[in-house]
Structures are given as structure tokens and as C-alpha cells.
Amino acid sequence: MNQSDGHFDEMTGLLYLEGQLDPGRASEVSAHLGSCAACSEIVHALEAEGVWLREALAAEDESIPASVIAAPERGTTHWGWIAAFGLGTGGAYTLWSGFVEPWYAQASQAGFTQGNLMTMLFFTGAFWKGWDAMRSLTEFMAVATLGTVAIWLLRKQWQRFTAIAFVMGALAVALAMPQQVAAADVEHGKPSYTLPAGQEVKTDLIVTADRTRIDGDVDGDLIAFSSSLIVNGHVKGDVIAFGAEVRLNGPVDGNVRVWGQSLNLDSTVGKNVMALTGASEFDEKSTVGGTLMMFSGNTELNGKIAGDILAYVGDLNIGGSLGHDVTVRAGRINIGPNAEIVGQTKYTGDHEPEVSPTAKLGSPIQFTLLKRGPTYSRPRYYWHQVMFWGASFVLGLVILLIAPGFFFDTEQMCKKVAPAIGFGALFLFATPVAALIVCATIVGLSVGIPVILFYGVALYAAKIFVGAWLGEKLLGAGVGIGPALGRLAIGLAILRILHMLPYAGFWFGLLTVMWGLGAMVLALHRRMSPAVAAAA
């Protein structure tokens, strides 16, 4: 900056006006302008010239050509759609043939012989309430479909928050409907709830409490969110329980579905049992009229089970009577002296089965030794990798179709490598801790469990966004779903190959999870605070 005769030059005046001087220099100029009429006049003239230039340049006194006004022709992305369709079909096939079908076949072998998965879900599940409920569900689905179509048609006229309000409203209605249909009795423990002996609830009973004790009878379903649930009374419907400790001492006429730390069954269950638990114990007096499906830690089966058993468990001790086939994947299996298995027993595990000589088996145990760790020499290993790639790709496809904005935002956020990995590491460890703390509170169980479920989905989905980002780095950016899927396919394939590397693969996987998780957090944060994003 030049200064002559105590006055500032024109350049300094311009830089001052345009905010390009450092604060100290700007203060000096400002002070000088306050006392120097000549310099002040020059600066005012420059300022007026700037305004004049802006107005002259912004003037819209020239017509816009028709060729510019007309919207451009539709772009051609046929190759992208063809590639997307091919990859999508391939991914869906690998997912189906490698994952869903074997599981379904195993379920069928274990006696879950209904026509299809949907049948299993609706007709043998705890949620089946009869044809009236099915009709209500059908009506609701029809209305929801019509609503979705309406939103799609009106999407351009509606603001985002209006759409969100509509969706949230619909969700609220959806959540409210089953309660109206079932007319359930909802109880909140303060902090515990007890249904005294001799009392009977004439409808479904939904309980949220720290500790729940059912000594009376329930003429309907019992749905409990409780850290401890003890049922001594008679439940004429199903028992659906989310809790740390579940103990069933009274008879249940319907199904039992348990998600919790432990399940202890010392009574009769009329239908099927499904348990996702840390440990399970079926006492000698226990009886299950239908099938048993378990995803559990250590398990003791000392009672009677009439139907088939499908179990993925830690150590399994069988001391009771099993009326049908048993398909088990376990660390160890021990079949005691009083055990009886009428059907076939298929066991996959780390150790040879231990069978008492006095145990009664319908047929010899079919044992398959489980090999841990990657086996690079087996083609099956590579097939599994293809299958995992396909599963990830299909999930990516679903996210891209359902929430393209979120998909692309998260992909973009992967560019912020350090913040994404940092936030990812934080949320990777903090989320389960927070969810467990929430679960420990009385009302928190219904919040904590969905949080853990979403957390699991997010961990799995993390690599999708990193893969999409990686694909963009390699293939370049392109607009539309087709190119995005091509990028996703390539990126996921590379990540899968990196994950296959011995030793380093695990760390690559962990880094990918943190990176993608952090990008999701950043993208969600941006979406929730658009003002901040706009100002950035």
C-alpha cells in the first residue's frame, strides 16, 4: 500500500471498500477517512462506482434466447440403466442363492414347512391375529400405497417439512392402529408392575416396567418391555418379551418370542418358541408344543419339545425329549443320559459331539466340523465373498432408490476423510454404550433396542458409502442412478478384496466401518441443520 502526503492511494481505498485489508490496516484507513475529506471523497466515489458497475452488469434489459429458455432434451443413460439392471439382478441372485435360500432350506428341514417366508411371518408368527386383523392390514397397506402415490405426484408442490409431517403422521396412525384393533391394556410400571394372582386381564396386556410379575391370568397376548419378567399365571395368547431376564413358570397357550439376556422356561408352551438370548434353560417340566428356533448362548434343553429344533447356540446340553429333527450349529453339543431325539440330528460345530451311551437317538448324529478363518484354497470361500458383495450391493441399491439424497450426501461426506473417521470411531464405540445405558432405564428399553438395531444396520451399510466414494475416485463422477451403481459395484468389489487380505483385512474392515459410519453421521447432521450447511 502506498501512502503519499499523508493520504492513501486509490488501491488502498478499493481494497478497504472490498474488505481485503487486514483488520489493523482497515482501522488505520477508517480513522484517516474520518479526518480527511479528500480521501473520503475518493472512497465514496469508488464505492458509488462499484454499485454502478453491479447495477449495470445485473441489468436484465436484454432478452434471453428461446434456445436458452427451453429446457434441455432428456439425457441418455441407457448404458447406465442396463449395467444397473445387470448388476442388480446379479446381486439379488447371489443374495438369494447364497443367503436366503440356504437359510430357508434349513428352516424347512427343521420343520418350518409353510409355503413361503411371508406365510411363516404372518401365519405362524406371534403377530397373527386372525382374518379380521389381516383385512385391516390389507386395507392399511392399500391406503398407504395410495398415500405414497399421492406424495409422489404432489412432491414438487410440497415443501420438505410438509412431506416429513405427512410421513410422521402416517407413522403415528400406523402405530396407533394395532392398539385400537387389539384394544390392549397398556400398563406402565412405577417402577415395577405386578398382576396379582386371581386377577385376569381380558385382553392383550402391554407392560413397560423395570420389573414385571404376572401372577394372574392374561386372556390375550402379553407384550412386555421389562428388565425382568416373571410369569407365574396363565397366558392364553402369545408372550412377546424384551428384557434382560425372562422366566416363564406359568402356561402359555400361544407362542413365545423372547429377546433378552436369559430365558428360563419351566412350564408349557402350546405353540412355538423363538429366542434371541444370551443364555436359555428349559427345565425338566417344560413342554413346547411346536417348534423351537434359537439364537442363543449356552443352552440347556431338559424338557419336552414336540416339533423341530433349529439352533445357533454356544454350548448345547440336551437332557430332555425332542420329538422331531434337530439342526444345530454350536460350539459344543452334549447329549445326556436321559436324552431322547426321535428324528435326525445335524450338528455343525467346533468339537465332536459328546453323546451319552444311554441316550436314545433316532439316527446317528450327522456331524460337520466347522473350520474357522478364511480358507483361501476352497472355491466356496470365494463364492461366499461374491455373495457378501452381492448382499452389500443390493442394500446399496435399495438405499439409493429409497433415499438418493442421503446416499449422495453420505458419499460426498466420505471426502472429508479425517472428520468422517473421527466421528465414526466415536459413534462406533459410544452408540452401544449409550444404547445400553438407555436400555437400563425403565422407559428406555423401547428406545434402546431400536437404537441398537439401527446401529447394526448402519455398521453394515457403512462400507456401501465408502465403496461408492472409492468407485467415484476410480471411475469419475457421473449423474444418475446407473453410473452411481457402477461406481458402487466397483468400489464394493475393491473393499471386499481388501477385506480378504490376511491380517490387514480386519483393519481395513474396521477403518471402512468407521469411515462410512462417520460419513453417515455428518450427512445426517447436515440434513438436520440446513441453515448451517447453507452458511458453510
- The binding site for other proteins (CB under 8 A) comprises 9-11, 14-15, 18, 20, 41-42, 44-46, 48-50, 52-62, 64-65, 67-69, 71-72, 74-75, 77, 80, 156, 159-160, 400, 404-405, 408-409, 412, 415, 472, 476-484, 526, 530, 533-534, 536
Name the DSSP letter for residue 416: S
- Minimum CB separation of residue 411 from other proteins in Å reads 9
- Minimum CB separation of residue 503 from other proteins in Å reads 34
- Minimum CB separation of residue 412 from other proteins in Å reads 6
Name the DSSP letter for residue 254: S
Q: In this complex, which beta carbon is closest to other proteins, that of residue 456 or of residue 478? A: 478
* CA 303/CA 310 separation, integer angstroms: 16
Q: In this complex, which beta carbon is closest to other proteins, that of residue 75 or of residue 373? A: 75
Q: In this complex, which beta carbon is closest to other proteins, that of residue 31 or of residue 53? A: 53
Name beta bridge partners: 214.
195, 231
- Minimum CB separation of residue 513 from other proteins in Å reads 23
Q: In this complex, which beta carbon is closest to other proteins, that of residue 20 or of residue 446? A: 20
Amino acid identity at 124? T
Q: In this complex, which beta carbon is closest to other proteins, that of residue 289 or of residue 483? A: 483
Cα–Cα–Cα angle for 448, 451, 456, nearest 5°?
Answer: 130
Cβ atoms of residues 350 and 373 within 8 Å: no
Name the DSSP letter for residue 151: H
SS3 content of the chain, % helix, strand, coil (to 5): 50, 25, 25
- Minimum CB separation of residue 482 from other proteins in Å reads 7
* Maximum Cα–Cα distance across the chain: 114
Q: In this complex, which beta carbon is closest to other proteins, that of residue 476 or of residue 502? A: 476
Name beta bridge partners: 192.
211
- Minimum CB separation of residue 280 from other proteins in Å reads 46
Q: In this complex, which beta carbon is closest to other proteins, that of residue 410 or of residue 431? A: 410
Nearest to 216 by CA among 237, 238, 231: 231
Cα–Cα–Cα angle for 458, 536, 29, nearest 5°?
Answer: 160
- Minimum CB separation of residue 87 from other proteins in Å reads 15
Contacts of 489 (CB under 8 A, 6+ apart): 87, 393, 471
